[in-house]
Each structure stands twice: as structure tokens, then as C-alpha cells.
Amino acid sequence: MNQSKNINKSRNSPSGVGGIKAGIIGGAGYTGGELIRLLVNHPQVSIESVHSKSNAGNYVYKVHQDLFGETDLKFSDSLNDEIDVLFLCLGHGDSKKFLSENNIPSTVKVIDLANDFRLTQSSKLKARSFIYGLPELNKQQIQSAHDIANPGCFATSIQLGLLPLAKAGLLDEVYTTGITGSTGAGQSLISTSHFSWRANNIQAYKTLTHQHLAEIVQSLQQLQKKFLDPPLGDGGISFIPWRGDFTRGIFISSTIHCEEPIEKLKDLYKDFYADHPFTIVSDDPIFLKQVVNTNKCVIQLEKVGSKLVVHSALDNLLKGASGQAIQNMNLMFGFKETTGLKLKANYF
């Protein structure tokens, strides 16, 4: 078992009663790297192991070079089961395979960052039952959960823009466009992730067929049962995602028909998110630099006639992935929801 500790142990060791031990599977990728960056400074967590078959024996900072001087953790190809929580940062479909092939003690809580367990029909594996980990929707269930299916990045941003309308029964057919940075495609190199392709370029992809649509509809139907996806009936969501010429962040614009006055709608949103520290409703135009490198989602409403446009923006690797995973962990273990997540945006 690899139990390497941080150079500055006090910055990564539990401070008093209630501290937990964490393991990370798939620690060499973007989401794994972000988890390490956050957990290495979390006052209630010690990282016990970071698993990566291809990097076993190498220092973590050799792959995530910004962590040089922050930690002396090494990647391991063996499993450490002397932990309290296990983060799965694997490719879609690989989390279910990993849990099926490895004997993870039932006492270990699992937070999966892939899409394997997000839908109700696929949320169970053996004795494990995964709760959909969107705190703004399922906070109470998350607090008592043993296993979490972390939402997708596009799904998080679109849902946070629409949940208040669903709760009020105001959702009609939704037309959504969204642009994401290159890190949304993961670390594996593909033709559209080359700098020479991305620079000064945008492209629509997976038009109306994005894999996050199913989890979005599932959550919206949790609050407004009559909201249907297009194959099931009238109404639903039509989503066109875009690849953008930047590395981090997602900006969404969703358009629906709505007769309610704008001030009433703003109050509806601010009331809905009053007890959710990372989702903030703005009266002013929002932009991507407000959220990059933070766990925040910012929302703005605009209305022209009967057309309501909801803009939402977040960092796809943080609130859209690793930051939200730690937010869920905080809730599961009874820590303050914002612990280890008070992050500064890179404004300039």
C-alpha cells in the first residue's frame, strides 16, 4: 500500500476529530489533478494514495508539474483500502468495471466522476446505491449518502440555470447552446484538442445528442414531472454544445417561453439558491472569468417579450467536476459545505 504523505504534512492532515483519508483512482488526468490540488490543502483530508497504472512509482508533481514543492506523493498501481472515501476519475464506463473487478470495502464511500451511475436505472451496483450529486437539487440525500454519482459539467451548468423554473412548474420547451473549453474533452489527445485546431476556432458537436441530456431531463422531471424529453412527447430540451478557443469554463444560454415578469423571476432564482453558497444570481451581465478556477456557478436572467434567456457559467473542472465532488464529500462527512473550496478566480 502506498501511503506517501505531503511535504507539508500539516496542510494535508486532518485538523482534529473528523478528518478523513482519501484515495484517488485515475489521478493522472485533468479531474484527478484538480482533486489533488484541492485536497492537498483541505484541512480535513489526508490523501493516502493516488492510483495510476501508467505512472506508478513517479512523483505526482512529475505529471502535475504545478504541484512541485507542494507534495511528495507518488502514483501507485496498487489499491489502498485503508481509506474513508474513494474518488473515481476514470473514463465513462470504466468506473463500473473497476468496482466490479476490485474488492472495495463496504465501509469506503465512493464518489464517481464518470457517467456510470448518474441515471436512476443504472444507479445500483451490488450493495452500492449511488445518489445523484447535485447539491442544489439533492443536498439532504447527499448528506446521508454512502455513494455519489457526480454530475456532468454541461449537465451541472444547464440544470442550475433551469431548476428554479422547474420547481415553479414554469418550464416549457428549452433551447440551449453552450460553449466549453478544451479540458472538457479530457487529457487524451484527439484531433480537435490540438492547439493548432482549437486556436481561433469554434465548432458545434453532438448536436441534440449530447450524453448529458438524459441526466438533465431526469433532474428537471424530479421537480416538474410533465417536463419531457423530445422522444417522449411535447416539450423537452434541445441542446447544441460548442467547442471553444479556451481551456477552461462553460457558458450556457437557455431560451424558453415564459410570461412571468423579470423581477418576479429574479426573486424566484434568488430564493431558490439562498441556501446554496456556490450558485449566485447576478443582476449584471455575467462572463466566464468570474468563475474560472472557482467552484461557483453564476446565473443571469434576461427577458424580451415572452422570451426568457437564462445564462449560466462555471468552471468545467471544478463546479463541473472535481470541485463539486469535494463539495459532495464535505456534505457526506458533515463538514462545512465550502471547506477547501474558497477559491480565487483568475480575473486578469
Active site members: 153
Per the listing, cell 458545434 goes with 204
Bridge partners (DSSP) of residue 57 are none
Between strands 307-314 and 203-204, the pairing is unpaired
**Cα–Cα distance between 180 and 152 in angstroms, integer?**
12
**Cα–Cα distance between 117 and 151 in angstroms, integer?**
10
DSSP string for residues in 144-180: T-SEEEPPPHHHHHHHHHHHHHHHTT----EEEEEEE
**Cα–Cα distance between 214 and 220 in angstroms, integer?**
10
For 325, the enclosing helix (H) or strand (E) is: helix 322-332
Between strands 297-304 and 20-25, the pairing is unpaired
Amino acid occupying residue 61:
Y
Angle value at C-alpha 276, between 271 and 279, nearest 5 degrees:
90
Length, in residues, of the chain: 348
3-state secondary structure of 320: coil
Across the beta sheet with 147-149, the strand order is: 75-76, 45-51, 20-25, 85-88, 109-112, 147-149, 128-132, 124-125
